[in-house]
Structure 1
């Protein structure tokens, strides 16, 4: 490649003449600029103050909203006795996450008929030994005696009738499924524990269709002042017509709360099944389910809440 100036030739290099800098006189020592009074900082305008304050308030409110609703159950009572499944937060661990209670715009679809009752593939020993544990952390506005510890039969059934403001609900308690849970339920009923209590939670959500009852406090936090052991097994299934115990998300935390399944329900085999609902009782629960959720009352934030048609127990008839 040829350099500029023709082939084989280098352009004549030109150097600018060197010029020596002239010496400048040194500035006089210790001369400072005259003193000037400090200038006060400018005051922020009222509009700027309002803008900054408003932004801070918005950030604080957004942070609180995130903590309260960003994680289901973050600011909720961990001991609430609810059901689980689609994810009730709390006690029975029957389902929780939707942040608002909603009532379906169309009537609740009920499957009709009844689901087969679960059965143990391996029968329990007969009798079994029951034990009940006092629980000082569970609100118990109704004081009751603990059921008796000791042997209990694991065969046979017991017929119970719940007289309620919505109609009578017949139950068949099955000792082969959960003998100690049956002992507990009969003990509470005979002491009048359920009289005057109401079913506090109706869920009409697909996958969690049940009515929850048995809380003397009425908000899902109450119990009898003691806990009972879970009586579960891997083959447990839940469906229309099943009667089961509610509990917290901890094992062996049931007490007095139970739920009546009237439709579809998808929950793990962690809730003791101890009986079934008769046909007349299912019709009562169906009527309550069709009535929907009372949105004027607080729920637990998972799409469930108090039923519009009240279900208040007036008396429980036991053998």
Structure 2
């Protein structure tokens, strides 16, 4: 089974996002963020709740601790906005599905990716035994530290693979004309990958341990077999993912 790769334009200053199953495919090179983040001109985006911008964990949010060989990463999850992605991730975490798996793909100044039991980007499944659809929202964005689902170009192809956005470069230029909330534009000055907004499901945000994410992203890499230099020579393992808080209904 081949890995699926999605390419982004050089203008996006990003590289690739591998997905989980199927044959090799190339994704769109354009940024359709305006379409996904502004569903109606009547929506005041600047009035929306933007939970990624706070490190506080609210009662309607969940909190996990991802314990890796390089240290711990605390991530809050947003079940009211991306319920299926959160349920899938939390259930896998409780069942120990992610224990011992690696970050099989790392691209510095882009992201780190894991959650594949095959360890090469070709495997993994959801808790339902089949893929499930995207949950896009104008409340969640690919800011630095965002946790999102990897997928293929096929419908309902999200499984178990996820990635954490690591880029720390200012990527806010041009977002004002794409109908982004002002606070999100400001946040993108600290890094992120806005070219992925509206294409992949964001369902969490790192609130502690970005230094660990950075360290994992800086690993020595080699050709992954498809021309991308992203396979860690010594992949970092996820020891376990602890659920520290579940959202109250």
Q: Which residue of 2 aligns with 1:211?
A: 112
The Cα RMSD (Å) is 3.3
Kindly indicate which of the two structures has a greater share of residues assigned to strand. 2
Q: 146, 158, 171: which one pairs with 1:254?
A: 158
Q: Is the 8 A contact 2:20 2:151 kept in 1?
A: yes
The answer to whether 1:287 aligns with 2:215 is yes
* Alignment partners' CA distance in 1, 2:165 and 2:17: 18
The answer to whether 1:196 aligns with 2:110 is no
Q: Is the 8 A contact 1:211 1:261 kept in 2?
A: yes
Q: Which residue of 2 aligns with 1:307?
A: 232
Q: Which residue of 2 aligns with 1:156?
A: 60
The answer to whether 1:221 aligns with 2:122 is yes
* Alignment partners' CA distance in 1, 2:242 and 2:137: 29
Kindly indicate which of the two structures has a greater share of residues assigned to helix. 2
Q: Is the 8 A contact 1:245 1:254 kept in 2?
A: yes
Gaps of 5+ in 2: 10-14, 27-36, 45-58, 168-191
Q: Where do residues 12-23 of structure 1 align in structure 2 (5 Å cutoff)?
A: none
Q: Where do residues 1-319 of structure 1 align in structure 2 (5 Å cutoff)?
A: 77=2, 80=3, 85-86=8-9, 88=16, 91=19, 156-204=60-108, 209-224=110-125, 225-233=129-137, 237-263=141-167, 264-265=192-193, 266-280=195-209, 282-293=210-221, 295=222, 298-301=223-226, 303-308=228-233, 310-318=235-243, 319=245
- Structure of greater relative contact order (alpha carbons < 8 Å, 6+ residues apart): 2
* Alignment partners' CA distance in 1, 2:235 and 2:18: 22
Q: By how many angstroms is 1:82 displaced?
A: 5.3
SS of the residue corresponding to residue 141 of structure 2 reads coil
SS of the residue corresponding to residue 211 of structure 2 reads helix
* Alignment partners' CA distance in 2, 1:92 and 1:260: 15
Instruction: Return the index of the structure with the highest Cα Rg.
Output: 1
Gaps of 5+ in 1: 1-75, 98-117, 123-154
Q: Deviations over 1:223-278 (max 9, x none)?
A: 12421221114675312111100001112201100000011423251100001012
Q: By how many angstroms is 1:210 displaced?
A: 0.2
Q: By how many angstroms is 1:119 displaced?
A: 10
**How many residue pairs were aligned?**
183
Q: Deviations over 1:125-184 (max 9, x none)?
A: xxxxxxxxxxxxxxxxxxxxxxxxxxxxxx811000111111111110112320111111
Structure 2 CA distance for partners of 1:119 and 1:309, relative to 1, 3 Å: farther
TM-score (ref. length: structure 2): 0.63
* Alignment partners' CA distance in 1, 2:99 and 2:203: 20
Q: Is the 8 A contact 1:215 1:257 kept in 2?
A: yes
Structure 2 CA distance for partners of 1:88 and 1:181, relative to 1, 3 Å: same
SS of the residue corresponding to residue 87 of structure 2 reads helix
